[in-house]
Structure 1
Amino acid sequence: MLYESICSLLREGGGDAPEAAVSSFRFARQDLLLEFASVERSSSMFKNRWPVGILVLMFCAFFSLSALAQETTGGLQGTVRDPSGAVVPSARVVVTGSSLVGSKEIETDASGYYRFANLPPGTYRLTVTAKDFKTFKREGLVIEVGHLPSVDVILEVGASSEIVEVTSAAPQIDVTTSRTMTNITEDVIKYIPHGESFQSVLQFAPSARNEPLMGGMGMGTPGTGGCSPTGCTNGAANGYQVGGAADSENGYLVEGQDTANVIGGYSHTNVPFDFIEEVQVKTSGIEAENGGALGGVANVVMKKGSNAWHGSVVAQYNSDTMNGAPNDYSRYDPAGPGASPSWGLVDPLHQDYQPRKDGTKDFLPGITLGGPIKRDRLWFFAGFNPELTKLRRTVDFSSQGLGLQKFDQNQQTYYTNARIDANVSKKIRLFASWLYQYQRESGQVLPHADSTTGLFNVSSTSPLFVFAHGLGFTAPNQTTNVGADFTLTPRLVATTRFGYFFENYKDFGFPTSGDTYFWNSAATAATQDVNGNCFGARMPSRVMRIMSLEKAGTTPLILGFFPMLIAARQWAATSMWATAITAAHFRFMSQAAASGQTSRKT
């Protein structure tokens, strides 16, 4: 190998390698890199998990019951009484709403109690009728995800043909929960400023905040690829902190399905706000089923169809002219000091590096459509919302005689959503939802931006092919949920939910064989071991460059390119059975991840 050839020259000459040899190595390395194709790998580690997963899911489906699936729905309960305060048994209670297919009805029990489970978030109307009493109606009941408010009813004596409409009443209060929850409803999403990802509304909840100083670097990491919506550093430097926990310690759910990365804990899944009905944020008292969340839990509930046709055509545009300059960050001076005193170590000088502003364009067109396939029976909702971004960075490579060089980073993300809700009969309701996002990025590896104050840019000595536009990644991401509600008796509802989450990050354009690093300057005898073999005692250059620790002309510029394939699958089944005074909740989840990378030591 060329690297070993340089070492041979050092052993023979006892000094620096000829410049011609180093230059030959550089150009040969460049030619080798450009011939590399993308790496594709597959894993069979999931195959043996299918039989076990299917058996467990069948068990959950046939032997588990539910009264309130709080991942994506709410409920309503109360007691019906007459003017004297006596309970009214066998009263007929009906609830209807804009987000509920058809209606639900139940009769009060011997104690006058009623309870509705699995009500999608929205605004409802409650109607109560009983023999020898006037009909009671109350409009504008707001049901939020995870809440079970109590609405007690006082019936007036009279004929049922007479209607008593309540237009103002005491607010609904949920006295059944000990959790701290914040529900960010559609009107808040529409009128309150927020970021582009649903994670950005976490900061609306108590004890949650956007925390850019949770550790690590003070800036986003360039060129890592596959960044989560909350940042590129797995919760270290960016993200949303809940109760002191890092971003990667939060739980991010879509329609009740966990979308956390199995390896790092963060979420690559994003949901455009045009698809969102409500976001629920739990900050304390989190249930055991979300035991992996040490901070908070954000749960997205997506929009549904209705009896009325509705839709939207939207567009959002953002560019560098609409935004301020990037934040500065601290680094060590790459040029010094070169030696440490005999009494210890001295840190290099500190520098505040203010990067130049990049040219950016971000365009998000979209369309949504929902309505009835059959009124009160079958609804649908669908949406498509691509996001097209472009970043252009100009860097001065005059140190190599190349002048100003332009680098483009292009990313395309295609969000697609579909949902079906069906009212099969008075006792059976079904739903299915699907969210898919496919992301592709070219120009993944970018050089550092130049300094506005003329400080040395450590990327300016790197060869241009390191930042080739053909280096990038693809990242499909899918979340699927299906469920059924069965009303077995007036007081018992069985619910079965099944969720599937899949993500697959894959680099392309990176090498899969050959030498994976070289020296910026000719190696010296000081960089050989006792046997005369070349080695590098310093930290890998890619890490050093990210941490701004690189010293010009003395460290290896590239440890290597690591083509990566990260695939993760997650299966979950949720169920619960309950009576008026007791409840039991069951949840099964199976997660599997496979990763592969190609590297070669020399």
Structure 2
Amino acid sequence: MIKTSNLLKRSACALAVSGAIAISAPTFANDTFNGTVKGVVSNAQQQVLENATVTLKHKTKGVTRTITTNEDGSYTLRKLPVGEYIMTIEKNGYEQIIEQDLLVTVGGSVVFNNTMYSVGTDMETIEITGSSIARVNMESSTGGIVVTKAELERLPVETGFEAIALLTPGVVSNGEFGASSIGGSSSAENAYYLNGINITNIKTGIGSIGLPWEGVAQTEVMTGGIDPKFGGALGGIVNAVSKSGSNEWEFEAYARIDPDFTRSHHDNLIDREGNYFSNTAQDESTFTRYSISAGGALIEDTLFFYGVYAPQKNDYENGKNNTIDIGENTSDRYLATVDWFITDDHSITATAIGFTNKGKGKTYANDCKQKTLASS
């Protein structure tokens, strides 16, 4: 006999455009989801070299950034799209320096100091050449970690912001609210960002809005010493950057099915008097998720697109002592980004996020001892 029925639906859509025009000012909003490379160039006598040309070229996008060193031999390249770069350093009279795999991470600052040697050095002289890369920025007190998509695929953890946050020292799970406690703060004191957009759940302040995790490239979890540009969050910051198109068009499909028969079940819980107080034997759940994505260059080296659509569904049976809930929850999620690198100092990123969650189900009278629905 059907006792009750319900139909729940909630949806939301977020559309934001973040842009930056960088001329000489030190920081802008989009520094939060890009990276920085800086360092000092010197010669073999440890004298700083002025006007050495430093060039970074993104391996997949072809985006190029060029700067010359200052009087003190220092250089700083900001607002760099995340990913791997090829770095070259050149100066007349010195041998060229090439670094093939320089990884720039979200919100990170790579310190790359270099020593250049004069052309035509006496061949009988033995010289040890090289450069030093410091991936810990000693100028910042911010603590935390950065996890890339490639690293996450190698780790035996669930996807999602909370799963990544739990990889960070000082973060503990709060199962009651479904969001983590970072640095001893409550789950409602954290803030979540994607491409510089605040995607913290507006209604509750706990966790983030739903988004297709397949479209996230890197995630930074900050646990302390947080920069004021992230606003007034008292807890931690989860700062992510989405995937982006490259000069080569790429297409990807993904499927995940967690069938109920692969889950372990245990019998109902019975108190010492023999009364049933928790019906767990009838609990069932089958989860499915699919995604398709595409990304590439609309204009080579300049304008890039990436988009992903990822619906998911959970069929469930939730048993109670005298009733059982049978239903399903579905979620349609999408993410799209357009990156326009107008010049070396001007770029625009537009990000669209959409999700719709629906739930429907019915409650039946149930005989938990017989593990069957009661007859009408």
TM-score computed with the length of structure 1 as normaliser: 0.52
- 1:179 aligned residue (142, 157, 162): 142
Q: Distance in 1 between matches of 2:226 and 2:268?
A: 37
Q: Distance in 1 between matches of 2:110 and 2:370?
A: 59
State the match for 2:50 in structure 1: 89
State the match for 1:106 in structure 2: 67
State the match for 2:347 in structure 1: 429
Q: Distance in 2 between matches of 1:128 and 1:354?
A: 68
State the match for 1:441 in structure 2: 359
| Greater mean alpha carbon deviation, residues 304-313 or residues 110-119 | 304-313
Alignment of 1:453-464 (within 5 A): none
CA 1:126 to 1:448, structure 2 compared with 1: closer, same or farther past 3 Å?
A: farther
What is the letter of the counterpart of residue 27 of structure 2?
Answer: A
Alignment of 1:378-527 (within 5 A): 378-393=303-318, 407-443=325-361
What is the letter of the counterpart of residue 361 of structure 1?
Answer: T
Q: Quick check: which has more Rg, 1 or 2? A: 1
Matched residue SS, 1:194: coil
Q: Distance in 2 between matches of 1:382 and 1:277?
A: 13
Alignment RMSD, CA only?
Answer: 3.9
Task: Check whether the contact 1:82–1:154 (CA below 8 A) recurs between aligned residues.
Answer: yes
Task: Check whether the contact 1:354–1:453 (CA below 8 A) recurs between aligned residues.
Answer: no
> 1:117 and 2:78 equivalent?
yes
TM-score computed with the length of structure 2 as normaliser: 0.81
CA 1:126 to 1:326, structure 2 compared with 1: closer, same or farther past 3 Å?
A: farther
Aligned length: 355
**Alignment deviations for residues 114-168 of structure 1 (CA, whole Å, 9 cap, x no partner):** 1000112222221111111111111222222222121111111118xxxx9x888
Q: Distance in 1 between matches of 2:267 and 2:225?
A: 36
Alignment of 1:46-57 (within 5 A): none
**Alignment deviations for residues 451-505 of structure 1 (CA, whole Å, 9 cap, x no partner):** 6799xxxxx9xxx9xxxxxxxxxxxxxxxxxxxxxxxxxxxxxxxxxxxxxxxxx
What is the letter of the counterpart of residue 67 of structure 1?
Answer: T
What is the letter of the counterpart of residue 337 of structure 2?
Answer: R
- 1:148 aligned residue (103, 109, 119): 109
> 1:312 and 2:252 equivalent?
yes
> 1:282 and 2:222 equivalent?
yes
Q: Distance in 2 between matches of 1:64 and 1:450?
A: 73
Matched residue SS, 1:71: helix
What is the letter of the counterpart of residue 39 of structure 2?
Answer: G
State the match for 1:189 in structure 2: 152
State the match for 1:264 in structure 2: 204
Q: Distance in 1 between matches of 2:9 and 2:103?
A: 51
Q: How many percent of aligned residue pairs carry the same amino acid?
A: 19
CA 1:127 to 1:37, structure 2 compared with 1: closer, same or farther past 3 Å?
A: closer
State the match for 2:27 in structure 1: 67
Matched residue SS, 2:166: helix
What is the letter of the counterpart of residue 187 of structure 1?
Answer: A
CA 1:422 to 1:38, structure 2 compared with 1: closer, same or farther past 3 Å?
A: closer
Matched residue SS, 1:280: strand
- 1:299 aligned residue (239, 252, 266): 239
Alignment of 1:127-276 (within 5 A): 127-158=88-119, 169-212=132-175, 235=177, 238-276=178-216
Task: Check whether the contact 1:384–1:416 (CA below 8 A) recurs between aligned residues.
Answer: yes
**Alignment deviations for residues 538-594 of structure 1 (CA, whole Å, 9 cap, x no partner):** xxxxxxxxxxxxxxxxxxxxxxxxxxxxxxxxxxxxxxxxxxxxxxxxxxxxxxxxx
**Structure 2 unmatched ranges of 5 or more:** 11-17, 121-126
State the match for 1:3 in structure 2: none
Q: How far is 1:246 from its partner? A: 2.8
**Alignment deviations for residues 66-106 of structure 1 (CA, whole Å, 9 cap, x no partner):** 53644211101111111111111111110112365520001
**Structure 1 unmatched ranges of 5 or more:** 1-29, 41-56, 213-232, 336-350, 398-404, 455-459, 465-602
What is the letter of the counterpart of residue 262 of structure 2?
Answer: M
